Amino acid sequence: MVITALGAGTAASALYPDFVGRRGIFVGTATGPTSYSQTTYDPVTLSQNPFYIDAFAGDALSVSGNYFVRFRPAATGTRQSWVAVWFVVSTGAQVAAAVNLSAEKIQVGLFGGQF
């Protein structure tokens, strides 16, 4: 999953990140994977470099309303890698392996910084 900043479509014209002190507030959109993995989940990156993720501002509900996404860090501390874990709203179960979620879109907020 690549989270793309809201704005006019390019990194130079994006509305985010917006800095508060030494930390960035970032709001962006993302699309689900073409083949979901229950082992590696959905690795998360930001479209703009050199930014890293400190924390997400909660879970995300897909635009369709069929799925929700929880974000999981590899460890605690700054500059961790993150994955998105997808769940089915109607059952609460994790999405089955190999399901195509590429038609699903989410909007998320997060806090981060620059390398």
Mean pLDDT within 24-47 = 94
Instruction: Name the domain count of the chain.
Output: 1
Reported as a single tens digit per residue, the pLDDT across 55-94 is 999 999 999 999 999 999 998 877 889 999 999 999 999 9
Predicted structure pTM score: 0.87
CA-to-CA dists, residue 93 to 42, 87, 90, 107, angstroms:
16, 5, 8, 21
- The C-alpha R_g of the chain, in whole angstroms, comes to 14
Domain that holds residue 32: 2-114
Both tokens assigned to 112: 């981060």
Please give the pLDDT value at position 31.
97
The CATH number of whichever domain residue 7 belongs to comes to 2.60.40
